[in-house]
Amino acid sequence: MKLHGYFRSSASYRVRIALNLKGLSADHLPHHLRKGEQCAPAYLAINPQGLVPTLENDTGAVLTQSLAIIEWLDEIYPEPPLLPKDPLQRSKIRAFAMALACDTHPVQNLKVLARLRELGLPEEQVTAWAAWANREGLSACETLIAREAGPFCFGEKPTLADLCLVPQLANARRFGVDVAAYPRLLKAEAAAKNLAAFADAAPERQPDAE
């Protein structure tokens, strides 16, 4: 398999964790987002959105969007499972993951921040926007799992929720958010970071890290 990504991309980070948890290998093909490499014609031919990650599986099929990629991995390589069989709990985990991957991360990603700069906002306001988006999402997620058993977001094993949480907390810190306000999320993050699958997927450990 081939994983097109970028070391600092939260979405790529999620997929790296999933691959590691399942003991799968993939050739990592970096595309430098700040240099616009994701907009190169050769890459757009693979992923017309010009986003990362993109996974080319071992049959040559192309998969895009991190949550869709992770769920495909979970269906094809079911151990260890990243979503439980119980429909209610599975729905709760998906909702938590989407709160971060669909409603928080996209609002503060590189494309949005670049547009804010194009519209003339000073850098401190751009950073403040990103910090606000992170606080909004993380505050909601803190409440969503307040009564869930730990140490992970939903119980004793990592799930799709944890794959989304760890990269988002890294983003929040990068934008100056005081994450001490989210003790339940930090508990889950600490449990995750004790696992090699999460530690090895960290941005600073990737070949294209800067």
- Please list the residue range(s) of the chain that carry CATH number 3.40.30.10: 2-80
Bridge partners (DSSP) listed for residue 28: 3
Instruction: Give the integer Cα–Cα distance in Å for 120 and 202.
Output: 33
- Please list the residue range(s) of the chain that carry CATH number 1.20.1050.10: 87-197
The CA angle 27-31-34, to the nearest 5 degrees, is 155
pLDDT at 18: 98
Is-cis flag, bond preceding 207, omega within 30? no
Is-cis flag, bond preceding 53, omega within 30? yes
Instruction: Give the integer Cα–Cα distance in Å for 171 and 67.
Output: 18
Tens of pLDDT along 26-76?
999 999 999 999 999 999 999 999 999 999 999 999 999 999 999 999 999
DSSP 43-83: HHTT-TT--S-EEE-TTS-EEESHHHHHHHHHHHS-SS-SS
Tens of pLDDT along 154-166?
999 999 999 999 9
- With a pLDDT cut of 70, the percent of the chain lying above it is 100
For 132, the token pair is: 């606000």
Tens of pLDDT along 81-106?
999 999 999 999 999 999 999 999 99
Is-cis flag, bond preceding 106, omega within 30? no
Q: Taking a C-beta distance cutoff of 8 angstroms, is the pair 188, 150 a contact? A: yes
Amino acid at 96: F
Give the homologous superfamily in CATH for domain 2-80: Glutaredoxin (3.40.30.10)
The CATH fold of domain 87-197? Glutathione S-transferase Yfyf (Class Pi); Chain A, domain 2 (1.20.1050)
Instruction: Find all residues with CB under 8 Å of 153, minimum gap 6, and list them.
Output: 93, 96, 145, 159, 161, 162, 165, 185, 188
Task: pLDDT band for 146, please (50, 70, 90 cuts).
Answer: very high
